[in-house]
Structure 1
């Protein structure tokens, strides 16, 4: 199902077919969405923003934990970014919460508190805990310490059920949009999604599947399956059984067109080789071109290892949202 269309009409038909196949490969989604049952469990005031701890139900008996960050000067309804963390301590690590519960005084760690950066740029941010991390991991991982995840057993369980961890996390992202739609502060026509590493993975597939996302920032992930996921050892949560029988990563990027996607990657990233990122971006550009959407695709390469950069990315979001 690699991209071969030469007109926008052909391309739209291709998108429809590949998107349906991708959902199938991810393990499909529930036919009926359960009630969200949302609640706010804590509200904290900071000098420039308010942070709400929120819970809502994604599937029956599966609760999503997250933080809704609202700038003090936010003009409602306003633009919002769904923020998806990568491997590490989980969602706390992108909202400035240190392991001892205190707040960092400046952006830190490889993810650089990008949810707080969103707030500082004037966006509301919903930062959710990805399944298998932080507040949503098993007891064994909790006993091993803050930086340990339960990706391995949880992803294995998903495979046994004919599903995938990526599919579970994408569905949480989709239900996050359902939650945001209940909040009067949020402009649902200006929703972006942003993630680094494993969060970049979920960002990429969520934007490819759910067209409510108007812009996606994929940090430290976009590459080729051939040069990264297939060739370099990765956490099991990166794998989609059978995907290479149908499409490469740049084909899947074409499911986002003509909506906006920005890619950033470090030159010293050892798990997502930069030459393959450049190659995949060039291939994706050809697909966006057929849609007449070349200006909806952006790339920034920066001199660093696997980390969140966020320079060109926020300039891009400011234009698109």
Structure 2
């Protein structure tokens, strides 16, 4: 059952668009700074060393670079860069953000392997010619430093609190710096950057889009979670400890963060039966966002939909995601390499 609206207009100005309110833009910038201020001591002063290319793999239809990136100055970040053989020049760039799912050993490899709840996106990226970057998040993949991944996540959370840091804040710094790297690649058009993720990856996708206007398209799957509704349904246990940012609710609700994406394109698909994402909360966020998009003549650029499903990406969801990729990232540059 659709709860939002979809359409065909682009982010670029057209006859139906209205001037973007400079006052609202200033408000968004102030709130972005406020949001960052809640994410602990961020090492903004760190200057990254050059990326390290471990090896290059040739696959059917694409080249895969296995990299180590210096994103935070604390620990190296293993990464995958997928470069399709057939791509536009410059090509759209996609930041693929892996999920949690208690699968601490998976990390960035989810791009290639997929999971039961979400088929792999690598074939999609190859077919659509999107240069795609995926990194291991703190505590996941090659950054899983304890045999018991859950204990490792909890220990990282506690240690960072002692040091004045916030685990989720450090996660978001990594994604921000990963976006920097993706945008810097010669193969990529920095004006066509998207962020995509499911579950933890979805949360990080809409946070990143809120924090960084370079994200031109936000695609989040199964985690547009309203915080107060999560409390009301007694479902705090459904999310890992990484999810919780000290003092956040004194300043922001989920809708407040998501309005920092307006009027850029935002597709959110969720399951009505998903305990991680209570349905009434999704409706509340939708009802907050759509009037803002409507105000600027961009209502078609916001689509929030609930499906009769649990914590899984349905084929119908994938169909919508592919349509939005085509509309907002792919069909922008006729030049082909």
TM-score (norm 2): 0.83
Please say if 1:118 is aligned against 2:125.
Answer: yes
Deviations 1:286-317 (A, max 9, x none): 23334443222122333322123422122112
Aligned with 1:109 (options 103, 111, 116): 116
Q: How many residues align?
A: 300
The residue aligned with 1:9 is 22
Q: 1:36 to 1:113 in 2, by over 3 A?
A: farther
The residue aligned with 1:130 is 137
The residue aligned with 1:188 is 190
Aligned with 1:27 (options 26, 33, 40): 40
Deviations 1:66-117 (A, max 9, x none): 1111112112210011000111222212312xxxxxxxxxx54213213443
The residue aligned with 2:76 is 63
How far the C-alpha of 1:64 sits from its partner, in A, is 1.4
How far the C-alpha of 1:209 sits from its partner, in A, is 0.8
Q: Which moved more, 1:61-70 or 1:31-40?
A: 31-40
The residue aligned with 2:17 is none
Point out where structure 1 has 5 or more consecutive residues left out of the alignment.
1-6, 97-106, 143-147
2:281 partner SS:
helix
> Distance between the aligned counterparts of 1:198 and 1:241, measured in 2?
18
Q: 1:121 to 1:274 in 2, by over 3 A?
A: farther
Please say if 1:298 is aligned against 2:303.
Answer: yes
CA contact (8 A) 2:197 2:220 kept: yes
Please say if 1:77 is aligned against 2:90.
Answer: yes
2:148 partner SS:
helix
2:76 partner SS:
strand
Q: Which has the higher contact order (CA 8 A, sep 6+)?
A: 2
Question: Where do residues 163-242 of structure 1 align in structure 2 (5 Å cutoff)?
Answer: 163-228=165-230, 231-232=234-235, 233=237, 234-242=239-247
Q: 1:116 to 1:224 in 2, by over 3 A?
A: same
CA contact (8 A) 2:184 2:190 kept: no
CA contact (8 A) 2:92 2:189 kept: yes
> Distance between the aligned counterparts of 1:280 and 1:19, measured in 2?
18
Aligned with 1:158 (options 140, 157, 160): 160
Please say if 1:253 is aligned against 2:258.
Answer: yes
CA contact (8 A) 2:56 2:64 kept: yes
> Distance between the aligned counterparts of 1:115 and 1:273, measured in 2?
29
The residue aligned with 2:107 is 90
2:270 partner SS:
strand
1:139 partner SS:
coil
How far the C-alpha of 1:162 sits from its partner, in A, is 2.5
Give the alignment's Cα RMSD to 1 decimal.
2.0
Please say if 1:49 is aligned against 2:66.
Answer: no
Q: Which moved more, 1:28-37 or 1:123-132?
A: 28-37
> Distance between the aligned counterparts of 2:172 and 2:22, measured in 1?
27
Q: Which moved more, 1:206-215 or 1:23-32?
A: 23-32
Aligned with 1:270 (options 271, 275, 286): 275
Deviations 1:186-208 (A, max 9, x none): 11111101111111111111111
1:188 partner SS:
strand
TM-score (norm 1): 0.87
> Distance between the aligned counterparts of 2:120 and 2:156, measured in 1?
26
Runs of 4+ in 1 over 6 A off after TM superposition: none
> Distance between the aligned counterparts of 1:317 and 1:168, measured in 2?
28
